[in-house]
Structure 1
């Protein structure tokens, strides 16, 4: 049903990551879900693993053993401390996916909101507890498919803007992004806030920063200046400033850590 994908953006420190993979949703849900992500861990007693993630500019529906949450878009990195054994089954939602939940992402920026979804979590938890992520993905897909709604025009346009920002490493301009989806910059600002939760400039910068981190980590032959130039930063100093503002440390420091 779902196939695993190899997109590694957003993962800042793969060396300390537990079992983790991303799965594509069924075609019928492609307009609502970017992918499912599954994290599983089993750590020795008294050991902990600190996970630092640079999240995508989107919201996530997350099912865990003890809770279900809707996590809004973030303005910084995300920290989670893992202990003992456990798992998390997440859904990276497209703007239309939030319509299924009736949520306003601009109201939950940098927040995790608890949800009561008893008709969903039992099936997902049962599958994950028996170490069957594929079955958990099927259970999630069935639940979402029953709740599909007609995608509002605004959510569709916002989704297209996010896709363009994600797929084009040279996309650095809000004006160009608005032109590419056929709306004014003012309208793009409104759609982005309403259906994504953050500004189009923040969306663009998050994807460019994710791409920069990926290249710095996986291609040691590239200099920081070359990465900055390839991703449309004015110069190396602007990329370094983006790293410090969002991550709390510089691009060179990140490369050395990884």
Structure 2
């Protein structure tokens, strides 16, 4: 499995966020890597509130959080978010999260399709009854990253996921979509993978939580977002064609609906 990526893909204001928080990624224990893409740790101590905006990946997240003036540590499971995810950070706090590989959460909750969690945020104990306040405290209170990672490993290794070849297939297909820019149409992609469109849609609903079309468009928006924030010489019409859009107007429409600003306005603000 690939090591944690080092890009900021999906973060709407990466420079603003990274100047306000300490953000790190770590690999999970080897047996977990088929399921967990990476752990992500954030610590902050802010003199003024800050709103973080993220264009979500097609992933389920398990997070343990502690905002020191808001009560004891707690855990949450967040399904795939369909729209822009906004989190307001205030005071002092920290989050220790596990980002499940797209398609790889179902073995941890095999009773229901992953689409059951889409768009929802639940207390961790509602999904994993063995989660307690002590669990959350053991993960978020250590000062040392290694201790937090070890505590995450201990908890996730205790959950004993149910092996599922269909989850492995879904995970691998999402990875193809993410890596191969030529994947543009669901019908063509299904055919190259030896599946009917309906079978591919059922697989994604059960194991990814969103449709294959949603995944294709989301990864293309991630790419456009990253380019808009780092380059000043983008030919948007050419990029739209490269990403599989019928024309520039379709890219602008999807980008604006997802990010809340046109590509050119976002690029100007980023610069």
d(CA) in 2 for partners of 1:121, 1:29:
23
Unmatched segments (≥5 aa) in structure 1: none
| Corresponding position of 1:151 | 163
d(CA) in 1 for partners of 2:148, 2:210:
30
| Corresponding position of 1:74 | 81
Offset from partner CA, 1:14-40 (integer Å, 9 cap, x none) = 122122122222332121111111111
Change (3 A) 1:5 1:201: closer
Offset from partner CA, 1:93-126 (integer Å, 9 cap, x none) = 1323332144532122211011226657635634
Alignment of 1:17-166 (within 5 A): 17=17, 18-44=21-47, 47-65=48-66, 66-94=73-101, 95-102=103-110, 104-116=113-125, 122=134, 125-126=137-138, 128-166=140-178
Offset from partner CA, 1:145-189 (integer Å, 9 cap, x none) = 233334212212211121111112232121233234332211110
CA contact (8 A) 1:216 1:224 kept: no
What's the TM-score once normalised by structure 2's chain length?
0.86
What's the TM-score once normalised by structure 1's chain length?
0.90
Change (3 A) 1:114 1:233: same
Secondary structure of the 1:96 match is coil
CA contact (8 A) 1:37 1:91 kept: yes
Task: Choose which of 178, 184, 187 in structure 2 pairs with 1:172.
Answer: 184
CA contact (8 A) 1:59 1:73 kept: yes
After TM superposition, the runs of 4+ consecutive aligned structure 1 residues lying more than 4 A away are 117-121
CA contact (8 A) 2:183 2:216 kept: yes
d(CA) in 2 for partners of 1:41, 1:169:
36
d(CA) in 2 for partners of 1:62, 1:247:
24
d(CA) in 2 for partners of 1:123, 1:115:
10
Cα deviation for residue 8 of structure 1 reads 1.6
d(CA) in 1 for partners of 2:86, 2:24:
18
**Bigger Cα displacement from structure 2, 57-66 vs 134-143:** 134-143
Change (3 A) 1:4 1:209: closer
Change (3 A) 1:154 1:10: same
Change (3 A) 1:4 1:198: closer
Unmatched segments (≥5 aa) in structure 2: 67-72
Q: Is residue 249 from structure 1 mapped to residue 250 from structure 2 by the alignment?
A: no
| Corresponding position of 1:190 | 202
Secondary structure of the 2:195 match is coil
**Bigger Cα displacement from structure 2, 182-191 vs 230-239:** 230-239
d(CA) in 2 for partners of 1:38, 1:151:
27
